[in-house]
Structure 1
Amino acid sequence: ASGPRGDRSLATTAAGARPEAVGAARATAAARFDAATVEPVEMPSRRRLLAVAREILDDRFADDLATVLESLPPGEFGRATEPSDRSLLVALAARHDHLFRDLRAWAGADGIGIAPAQEFTGDRQALVERELIESIKVPAGPGRPMLRLRAVDDALLRARAEEVPSVLEGRFDLPTDADGRTRHDAGRGERRPVWERKRR
């Protein structure tokens, strides 16, 4: 795909296409790329990321996040991966019983602006379905109740901060049923207790 957002073209070639056709498609894409307007990434610095985390959340979350960022290679977690970078942030917040509202305030447009606040809902639900965390309703007067994030998986609770990504990846690798919950019977096979096995 080439071209600016809203005016992109998909350049394809069939197997065995003429070399000149491939060259022309590449030249067209390169020309459009060179003529495109530079789009700033607008991501906060790590220093600001952690400073605002200390203000809105707390030192424990910020310290965990700093450790994770130091341990992960670039691009290890992103929006296209599962678990995503948002899943990782929700899990870190749940290790310290933070309000979901506060996490979204930190990450959203009114905070550091790394992701729209509403996009965290699906990631929170994915962690709940895999029994890594729970969402506890907290009374907050009239209107919708607030949710407190709480880690309930022993491995997630006991892991060092740098081990949290591996815990998440391991759980997300397990098969799930139709509603997204981890299948507890996955891989059991004949490892059932001998008294549960059928005689053949």
Structure 2
Amino acid sequence: MKNKVALIVLLLISFSGFTQNLIEKEFVILTFEMNRNKDSHGTFIYYWIAELENYEKEDEYKEPKIHSLFLHEFYGSEQLESCCLGKVSYPYTMTTGTEFNFPKNYSEYLTDLRELVKNNREKIQVIKKEWKDGYKEKVTVYATTVRGKLCECKFGGDTYLTKGDRISFPKGNYEIIKNYLTSEKRILLFKDFSDFNYSNTDYRTGKK
């Protein structure tokens, strides 16, 4: 699997008209895969992202600022454009004005990026819960460290997330950062996700 996902020239040209002045940064993409033994009808998949921090000491810890990352195409193209301009975005809202004028091969770009994330991830936590009547839930948390650019903006709706939350869409080339978990003077995430509200879409098994 290649360590880079590159947008084709047409996609880069199409995006150039509506974009923030983006800076390449290092991030960790978090994948939450949730399975239930009853009523789930497949594996739920959620993506979140946090900027990687540099640390002066190996035992130093900073609470990560984690926000939603949308790697599936379920929103209108005008919401992607709004976010890339730094405006408020409503990705879950569909109206008579909703458009789907995405750059050519945008779906393929997202598919390739999801594959890159999946093929280079490391398991960092497993959360198991059990309720009465035999209901069980298992959430596996994975981390993929990458270098790339994001369109970031405020969320304007009230579905899944809270109004004013930060959300993001990937843009351009992404490259895997290898051996990050073992690099000196860096910490990935010493965070317990047991109480983290990770539900930000309704995608399930069959969508990578």
- TM-score in terms of structure 2 length: 0.24
- TM-score in terms of structure 1 length: 0.25
Could you say which structure has the higher helix fraction?
1
Could you say which structure has the higher strand fraction?
2
Higher relative contact order (CA 8 A, sep 6+): 2
Larger radius of gyration: 1
